[in-house]
Amino acid sequence: MTYDAGSALARIAESEAGPGGLNAFLSLADADDVQPRANGPLAGAPVAVKDNISTTALPTTCGSRLLDGYQAPYEATVVRKLRDAGGVVIGKTNLDEFGMGSSTENSAFGPTLNPHDRSRVPGGSSGGSAAAIAAGYTTMALGSDTGGSVRQPASFCGVVGIKPTYGRASRYGLAAFASSLDQVGVLGRTVTDAATLLGAISGHDPHDATTADTPVPDYADDVGRGVAGMVVGVPAEYFPDALDPAIRSLLDSGLERLVEAGARLEKVSLAHTSYAIPAYYVLAPAEASSNLARYDGVRFGVRQEGSDIASMYEKTRRGFGDEVKRRIMLGTYALSAGYYDEYYGTAQRARSLIAQDFAEVFARVDVLFTPTAPTTAFSLGERTGDPLAMYMSDVFTVTANLAGIPGVSVPVGYVDGLPVGGQLLAPWWGESTMLAAAGAVEASSPGSLP
């Protein structure tokens, strides 16, 4: 495929100018920086980068006023690798502030709109990256996935989103939200696009001790491998009676297509799934409260002067948005003396049970097939006043982050004109098998972008 990053940049600049834009980008590259590059697997491909991933040529704001205009002194490993593979960074995409949200409405720079229906959210927190692909601005983008923040917006926008195994891609240069859950992910117009980008950014990094020193397969080649003989697990807990019948019908059709392609289905149970949301919303805020302590006006953050150091800290940290403040307070409480073991310790034990469930199930099946999200894209403002309802948007995705396993969302169709994604989960380092199944779903699905 031939790419023209310069044309992509011009198209974005024209479409996003003025009030009619999607607000998918927070900054765009200079035209001089997007010259075609012919070598490498990405061969000049324009790639959008979520604005919590460090770049030296563009600001890294994390969607926060505290980092407004911040210029990182170094480049994230995944950005360096995509450049080495021939990719071209065309801009930084909008996100929920510090990755905290499920709708990209928590950005300090305004929400991103869903290209399929501008009255609806694109999902989050990688909503800008997903919207950029759905709008045709680019075919590939980087995001980050802490509890579903690549896969859920991929579902809402009708694109492909991959969260790799924890440790498959470097987190060096990714602004930390919850370090034991964060993972750089990729989005693409097709499974092959996303797989190609994933292959380019994966691998061991001496700057990140959590990355694995294992060979990186040819993920793009895996996409066309087929599913003959593959065993696909269908977990009962991910198909509750309350699931929208129209979404269930599309997923059932996706399962039928996998069977027609040669796979075998097996019903399975992941008994501790109900603990996932409570455990996640203890662990993630707890880690966030620690990670975001550095934004104090001394080490990081736009300083607000005060009469003394305490008032300076207080005034500076008032710059966080409401959702970030909420999670910092929840996390600080969970880690406080007298509550640490009751909340954080219990959540870690629940996390272990969830990981054990996956290990036992993957001894019998090759992949799992589930919904990506319980609904299609909801309306702007619909859930901003109800944090619990917003958190439930990630009910089917947080388990993969808690267990560290890979997951991918693939379009499976539309309900009332809005995209629906099906999610495939695989065992640790099982991206190749997962992408083979994703390719089979995509090849027979009516849900892909036109």
Q: Please give the Cα distance from 186 to 438 (Å, whole number).
A: 14
Pairwise CA distance, residues 440 & 261, whole Å: 7
Q: Name the packing angle between helices 245-260 and 431-443 (round to 10°).
A: 100
Query: Measured between alpha carbons, how far is 341 from 338 in angstroms, rounded to an integer?
Result: 7
Closest CA to 122 of 139, 145, 142, 102: 102
CA angle, residues 421, 427, 432, in degrees to nearest 5: 70
Residue partners of 46: CB distance under 8 A and separation at least 6: 3, 4, 5, 8, 9, 34, 87, 88, 90, 138, 139, 140
Per the residue annotation, which of 103, 107, 125, 155 is the catalytic one? Answer: 125
149 belongs to the catalytic site? yes
The active-site residue, picked from 129, 149, 202, 393, is 149
Q: Is 125 a catalytic residue?
A: yes
Query: How many CB atoms are located within 10 Å of the residue 336 CB?
Result: 12
CA gap 273, 239 in Å, rounded? 12
Residue with tokens 């319980």: 374
Start-to-end CA span in the chain (Å): 17
Q: What is the dihedral of CA 79, 84, 90, 91, to 10 degrees?
A: 10
Catalogue the active-site residues: 50, 125, 149
